[in-house]
Amino acid sequence: MSIVMMAFFGLAKADEGMWMICNISARTDSVLQSLGLELTPEQIYSDGQPSLNNAIVMFGGFCSGVVVSPNGLVFTNHHCGYGTIQTHSTTKHDYLKYGFYAKKQKDEIPTPDLYVSFHLRTVEVTDQVMADVTDAMDEQARSAAIEAAADKLTEAVKDSVNGIYAQVVPYYRGSKYYMSVYQRFDDVRLVCAPPESLGKFGGDTDNWVWPRQTCDFSVFRIYAGPNNLPAAYSEDNVPYKTDSYAHVSTQGYQNGSFCMTFGYPGSTSRYMSSYGIVNMMENENKPRAQVRGVKQDIWKEAMNASDDIRIKYSSKYAESSNYWKNAIGMNESIERFGVLDEKRAFEKELNEWIMSDTVAHAKYIGVLDSLKAEYASTAEGNLVATLFEETLTGSDLLMLSFQGLMSIFNGGGDFQKQAKETYKDIDFDLDRRTLAALLRNYAEQVPSEDYLMSFYSTIKDQFGGDYDAYLKDVYSRSSFTKPDVIFKTEKVSELTEDPLMQLSYGMLGTLFKLRGSFDNNINLYERNLEDAMREMNKDKEYYPDANFTLRMSYGIVEGYSPDKETVYDYYTKSSSLLEKNVKFPDNLDYTLIPAVKKWLAKGKFGKQYIDKTTGTMNLCFLTNNDITGGNSGSGMFDGKGRLIGLAFDGNYEALSSDIMFNNSLTRCIGVDIRYVLSVIETYSKGKRIMNELTIE
């Protein structure tokens, strides 16, 4: 194996990988033990016996969380609970700005549509799923056969009474399939959230950046019905009882301490071709960042001018800006570290192996050429598809009308539920101004006028190119700006002549054109490339890319140096938060409300939360654990399986790690659990929560 191969695809180091906990190999277990893990594989995951697995939850279908008490108390990130906190906030009860704490159990706030799921077991089902798949099938037929088989498997497991459901998920781009079984609880209530001055300190400025001081946590509780089983919300429900929950450690960590993380990482593309990376950079990341930048500038100005709009748009803005900055940082990181050069060097060596190996030649000849051709032929369509999607989703009313239109064609979707969600947090004037800017931007960004919708001629000919004037006319005549009318509409088909739905209808032609420009061969060739890679290196243990299934990552507490002049320590301390606030008085991301400023100035954080090594209350810390989106809220555990932190971010310099892990730079940023406990106990006066925890 060449030096390049060893550098890129050599033996995985201890800190790389998102490993399936259901089949920890002897090799991986040996590495874990050597780093400091004192638990057995069965104590991490066991089908039928209590294990650490039982304390980890999928939070809302977009984050992770950890159960920390026998009464169903869940810790997750503040930004994971942000939408819920925002939903319950008003200008009178601004839980975003001032935080929230339920002094009594009856004060815990129910949140419709929020759920948590416990992972019960995972089993391989490749043979069952692929039973009817033949080599003669194209990708569409193959997918249909797999979906049909998967539906039968999940239907056999489904138990609605007990909240049991299953998902069959592809691994290695569909070369293997596993079925994960879950138990879902739909009555989840908000218990505690810090003020934004702590829970969102640093905002956009510090997002994906180290050093951090963010106390990124929120607390929820799972409720159950009779017999401790899942149930829809009811005043009669009681806190869920569990024997498996995480114990919390106040002993902390040191530089080099072992740390493992459990959660639901969303998506990585570690084995994607160089052609796929170029497509991601040019046709997804760049246009996504560009369009969101336009939208966010408009929103930010309006949010700064009005508390009402700030509360309504805060969650939407945070969601948008998170991957706006991620897209920018990922492209910068890919270029900075020569990721494409390394990928191409590996592909050259892989191709040489294919040409020299008789069996591989028959199976994989031409796979790289095919990928190159497929990505080239779909590049323009991918670019326009991103522009189209980002423009469409940038306006709440346009998106609602489009969803209504699609429900007519597809015969599905709860339009009234979508309408209720839309009108809960919208300012019609801001929505119109945003859409005007986005429609103008779309016309300026698409590579050809062929991708413009018919209404662009109306804007040009009847409104002199004035997008806002055009939309003022549309919005003034549309029933979508009149919630009472929409809520009384029994059938969506009654709205087909509405001006806003007609605008949506005008977008369908472009959508169909985009759909027609793609085929399914890219996934086929990427799967073949990944199969060839694993076949060439049979002795290497490959973890599958993240796919929002439960994974474990492991490593050590460790700082890093992003350049020759800078050395970052592995932790931040309480004084650094006040220092940022003083140093950047005009930066709203570093604003501290008076109560938080007073609490910090007093410095009475609780001596039990002071780190013995540093002599201060550590705020956040670094490990070289693997992390990506979806890991937010993941429990971070020491070698004894005790909770020491909550993962909430990665570092900007290594945002290309979703494509290629960088051992020297990739870091997982976590909030120290002692910081969390101090905020709960000494700031929020949350004695009721503290009494539930098992603290070691």
Sequence-ordered list of residues with C-beta below 8 angstroms from that of 216, at least 6 positions apart, any chain = 77, 78, 79, 199, 200, 646, 648, 649, 671
- Tell whether the torsion through CA atoms of 606, 611, 612 and 614 is positive or negative: negative
User: Is there a contact between 309 and 430 (Cβ–Cβ < 8 Å)?
Assistant: yes
Q: What are the helix (H) ranges across 123-195?
A: 126-129, 139-157
Q: Which phi and psi (to 5°) does residue 261 adopt? A: -125, 135
695 vs 668: CA distance, rounded Å: 24
For residue 349, give the DSSP letter. H
Strand partners for 568: 560
Least Cα distance to 288 among 327, 333, 318, 316 occurs for 327
**CA 255/CA 259 separation, integer angstroms:** 11
| Catalytic positions | 79, 216, 632
Helix, strand, coil percent values for the chain (each to nearest 5): 50, 15, 35
Whole-angstrom distance, CA of residue 129 vs CA of residue 152: 9
Q: Provide the 3-class DSSP secondary structure of residue 605.
A: coil
Angle, helix 367-392 to helix 499-516, in steps of 10 degrees: 180
- Quick one: tokens of 53? 């697995």
Q: Is the link from the previous residue into 211 a cis peptide, with omega within 30 of 0?
A: yes
Q: Are 190 and 649 in contact (CB under 8 A)?
A: no
Task: Please list the residues that pair with 184 across neighbouring strands.
Answer: 117
Contacts of 120 (CB under 8 A, 6+ apart): 47, 164, 181, 182, 183
- What are 539's two structure tokens? 């002795």
Q: Which of 112, 108, 148 is nearest to 131 (CA)?
A: 148
